[in-house]
Structure 1
Amino acid sequence: MSHAVGTFEVQITPIAPEEDAPAGAPGRMRLTKTFHGDLQGEGAGEMLGLLKDGSGAYVAMERVSGVLEGRRGAFALVHRGVMEAGAQDLLITIVPGSGEGELAGIAGVFHLKIEGGLHRYELQYSLP
């Protein structure tokens, strides 16, 4: 298994709810990211989330494109996050079969850590 590490900036932009959306429906947000380090590139996706009093959950789909340790291509990530009273359980994985270009066949897990407002990643991955 290979490891890629670095940082990224993320911008989260709320998407206005549909006119007929029921009260309490999940909020939608657009994600845009810029990756630095062993992964140089951009990410774009959408997230659905619910949060109340420090507890909630979110799901997201994101497409990442760029250069991963010298290999150019793209892949998709699926996010699942659950927060309970501020504690977080987060799983972000590469969508099977989503690799393109020199990243075709990529598989793995994306680990995220936020320290002092800085977003750090470690991508554990394999390529054929």
Structure 2
Amino acid sequence: MDLHLTAPFTLDTWDAVPDPEPAEPGAPATGRVVLAKTYAGEDLTGSAVGHALTTQGEHGASYVAQERITGALAGRRGSFVLEHGAAMGEGVAITQWARVVAGSGTAALTGLSGTGTVAHELLTLDVVLPD
């Protein structure tokens, strides 16, 4: 079954730990984040826990993250890992992406695959649920 879903979420936890200050002048700051979310969409409800790596500088920023989402997707209960990221910088187009980590689906979500984006507290994902 193919499904296009949009799932709003709230960011419940964003505990950032900055890495040591870079020695080079102008070098971007980097850090690690522990995160938790609640999804409350029509097709996806549940909670997520995960981690992110961040880079933020004067001329650009990016992040990469992985989160385990546990709940119901299109009425099927289970969990899966979502990997996502974004990058932006001066003179460079903004990129955003998300994908289900292959083989990460459990229970009724075993075999799940999909790609999309995460932006502005909204997950947009095109998924394939096996029959």
TM-score range, shorter chain: 0.7 to 0.9
1:25 CA displacement: 6.2
Counterpart of 1:51 in structure 2 is: 56
The yes-or-no answer on 1:90 pairing with 2:91 is no
The yes-or-no answer on 1:104 pairing with 2:110 is yes
How many Å separate the matches in 2 of 1:56 and 1:7?
23
How many Å separate the matches in 1 of 2:21 and 2:18?
13
TM-score by length of 2: 0.81
TM-score by length of 1: 0.83
Counterpart of 1:2 in structure 2 is: 3
1:109 CA displacement: 1.2
Counterpart of 2:31 in structure 1 is: 27
1:65 CA displacement: 0.6
Q: Is the 8 A contact 1:4 1:69 kept in 2?
A: no
The yes-or-no answer on 1:113 pairing with 2:119 is yes
Q: Is the 8 A contact 2:18 2:30 kept in 1?
A: no
1:127 CA displacement: 1.4
Identical counterparts, % of pairs: 33
Q: Is the 8 A contact 2:76 2:108 kept in 1?
A: yes
Structure 1: gaps spanning 5 or more residues: none
Q: Which 10-residue stretch deviates more, 2-11 or 97-106?
A: 2-11
How many Å separate the matches in 2 of 1:30 and 1:54?
25
Q: Which amino acid aligns with 1:89?
A: T
Structure 2: gaps spanning 5 or more residues: 23-27
Q: Over residues 90-116 of structure 1, what are the superposed CA-to-partner deviations in whole Å (9 max), with x where a residue is unaligned?
A: 1110000000010000000132332xx
1:87 CA displacement: 5.3
Q: Is the 8 A contact 1:93 1:108 kept in 2?
A: yes
Aligned residue pairs, count: 121
Q: Is the 8 A contact 1:26 1:48 kept in 2?
A: yes
Q: Is the 8 A contact 1:55 1:84 kept in 2?
A: yes
Runs of 4+ displaced beyond 4 Å: none
How many Å separate the matches in 2 of 1:53 and 1:22?
15
How many Å separate the matches in 1 of 2:18 and 2:62?
19
